[in-house]
Amino acid sequence: MITKYIILFIYFSILFFIGYIASKRIKTTKDYYVGGKKLNFWVVAFSARATGESAWLLLGLTGLGAMVGVSAFWVVLGEVIGVTVSWFFMAEKFKKLSDGYNSITIPDYLVSRFKSKTNTLRIVAATALSLFVVIYVSAQIDATGSAFESFLGWNYFTGAIVGFFIVLAYIFSGGFVAVAWSDLFQGLIMLLGLVGLPIVAYFSISSNVSISEGLIALDPSFLNIWGEGGFNLINLFTVLGFLCIGLGFMGSPQLFVRFMSIKSTAEIKKGRWVAFVFTILTDSCAVLIGIFGRYLLTSVDADPEVVLGNGAQNVLPLLVERIMPLTLIGIYIAAVLSAIMSTIDSLLVVASSAISRDFYQQIFKPNKTEKELAKISKGITFLLAIFALLIAMIVAVTTPERTIFWFVIFGWSGIAATFCPTIILSLFWDRFNEKGAIASMITGFLSVPLFKFGFASLDTIGVYFEKLGELGPSFMLAIIVGVIVSKISEENTSISQLNSDDTH
């Protein structure tokens, strides 16, 4: 146990050192929010991937792999497609436009892109971002408590609170620079930990046994890519739901702000390959960890959730304890905390920028100095974090059967459905206008809870919406509404202009 604490002490010391060094480079709000737009491709690629994955990868996706087997690879495919589209087809165009507008937040970019003359778009963007970020951060805090509980035997609530204050400490010191550089460090730990564990697990299994036969004995559908029952309508909707998770990479603010922070489009061309390889390796290995964990830790007559926790989300820590030497267990604790904290810090910086700059400064106090705004940003970061902590504690008490995988996905879906359709249309459709953007964002924002809690509870068809998830249908509905409203408002504007010309 002492060894674990020593390794964690070293890990956190490095994080605080990064925060201290970063604080020396913070001179303006541009530095605080986007690192002065001077970061290189290694930092941005690892930061984007570490932020995009979170506890969902190490605890959620590993658990899904343990529960459903190889059909979890549909999630991997969805993520690879999402990352590829964002880095190869969207990043350069977004970088050029946001630099041309001198934007340092996503609402900044949207307001400039649509030449907005009112504050409506900025208010909608900042409000939606703040609300879903709080939900997303609360899911990560929940995962922090579970990680400390699983690895160190701490009380859940103690672990959640300790992890929460550690993240706040280095955000406060260095803002986005601290976040980005700590994400590079944490992303490396995640990569090494995820790739190493299934290799060790594979070689820990006797060569005299058939792994596939053992897995089929545990669950006859475990090696069926379509899941239990093979190809049918329910499983098709489940697979589509898995694939749709990757949609969140196509415009989510906490990821696209990293494209603002990179120093040039040339760096994006290099970073895209780092992000692509990182995604394939980490996501595939996460599923394999779940599969090997199911094989090594459960038996034919055992309920996997009794052994591995709700949604099998404890499979990674239990497998590490089973096959890894004591010294390396501390590294894996750090890897899990890396995934969690790299997401919490990024989300809090993005949300605080939305409220302090896009809402408070741009709408109410345009004459605030850089120093005053930085102080306000830190205060807002703290308040958002406290609110997220309270939600995490309430959910932990009221919903003990929750799983990290779906708790995180709800927050992820809310942010993605609100912003991704708007970002995509703003980049690739010239006729997309402000009214269409506002309608699209509101539609995405409202559709997520509607599909999650409304349609999923309907008789007969509800089960299909439950399997499909909330992101896919919310995403498509937001795009459709954005296109329709843009066209209608454009036609109405043309008619108004004609009538005006006729009267003259």
* pLDDT given for residue 339 in this prediction: 72
Q: What are phi and psi of 39, to 5 degrees?
A: -85, 150
**Token pair listed for 335:** 């890897």
Is the per-residue pLDDT at 383 higher than 80?
yes
User: Which of 34-38, 214-218, 259-263 is least confident?
Assistant: 34-38
User: Which of 85-89, 100-104, 194-198 is least confident?
Assistant: 100-104
Is the per-residue pLDDT at 23 higher than 70?
no
Taking all residues of the chain, what is their mean pLDDT, rounded to a whole number?
85
Is the per-residue pLDDT at 290 higher than 60?
yes
Is the per-residue pLDDT at 29 higher than 60?
no
Q: Distance between CA atoms of 386 and 405, rounded to whole angstroms?
A: 22
The C-alpha angle with vertex 179 and arms to 27 and 256, in degrees rounded to 5, equals: 95
Is the per-residue pLDDT at 174 higher than 90?
no
- Report pTM: 0.87
Average pLDDT for residues 282-286, to the nearest whole number?
A: 95
What pLDDT digit, counting tens, does each position of 136-166 carry? Answer: 888 888 888 888 888 788 888 898 888 778 7
* pLDDT given for residue 315 in this prediction: 93
What pLDDT digit, counting tens, does each position of 298-353 carry? Answer: 998 889 999 998 889 889 989 998 998 877 887 888 777 777 776 777 777 777 77
**Token pair listed for 33:** 């929010």
* pLDDT given for residue 419 in this prediction: 94
* pLDDT given for residue 284 in this prediction: 97
Confidence of residue 485 (pLDDT cuts 50, 70, 90): very high
**Token pair listed for 298:** 């459960």
* pLDDT given for residue 176 in this prediction: 53
- Residue given tokens 């109410």 in the structure block: 364
Is the per-residue pLDDT at 435 higher than 70?
yes
Residue 130 in contact with residue 344, Cβ under 8 Å?
A: no
Residue 470 in contact with residue 448, Cβ under 8 Å?
A: yes
Is the per-residue pLDDT at 502 higher than 60?
no
Query: Higher confidence at residue 418 or residue 349?
Result: 418
Q: Distance between CA atoms of 24 and 38, rounded to whole angstroms?
A: 15
Q: Distance between CA atoms of 378 and 19, rounded to whole angstroms?
A: 14
Is the per-residue pLDDT at 36 higher than 60?
no
* pLDDT given for residue 494 in this prediction: 66
**What residues contact residue 50 under an 8 Å CB cut-off, 6+ apart?**
183, 184, 186, 187, 190, 338, 339, 342, 343
Average pLDDT for residues 114-118, to the nearest whole number?
A: 87
Is the per-residue pLDDT at 9 higher than 60?
yes
- Residue given tokens 């267990």 in the structure block: 329
* pLDDT given for residue 37 in this prediction: 67
Judged by phi (left if over 0) then psi (alpha if -120 to 50, else beta), residue 230 lies in: left
User: Which of 59-68, 113-122, 437-446 is least confident?
Assistant: 113-122
Measure CA of the first residue to CA of the last residue in the chain; give whole Å: 84
Residue 452 DSSP class:
I
* pLDDT given for residue 463 in this prediction: 92
**Token pair listed for 361:** 């400064």
Average pLDDT for residues 399-426, to the nearest whole number?
A: 86
Q: Of 90, 61, 12, 63, whose CA–CA distance to 275 is shortest?
A: 90
Q: Give percent of the chain above pLDDT 90.
A: 40
Query: Higher confidence at residue 176 or residue 23?
Result: 23
Query: Higher confidence at residue 14 or residue 258?
Result: 258
Confidence of residue 410 (pLDDT cuts 50, 70, 90): confident
* pLDDT given for residue 427 in this prediction: 96
Residue 40 in contact with residue 367, Cβ under 8 Å?
A: no
Question: What domains does the chain contain, in order, with CATH numbers?
Answer: 2-493 (1.20.1730.10)
Is the per-residue pLDDT at 366 higher than 80?
no
> DSSP of 274-289, one letter per residue?
HHHHHHHHHHHHHHHH
Average pLDDT for residues 248-255, to the nearest whole number?
A: 90
Average pLDDT for residues 410-434, to the nearest whole number?
A: 93
Is the per-residue pLDDT at 33 higher than 80?
no
Average pLDDT for residues 482-493, to the nearest whole number?
A: 90
Q: Distance between CA atoms of 350 and 298, rounded to whole angstroms?
A: 41
Helix, strand, coil tally for the chain in percent (to 5): 85, 0, 15
Burial label, 76 (beta-carbon count in 10 A; 0-12, 13-18, 19+): buried
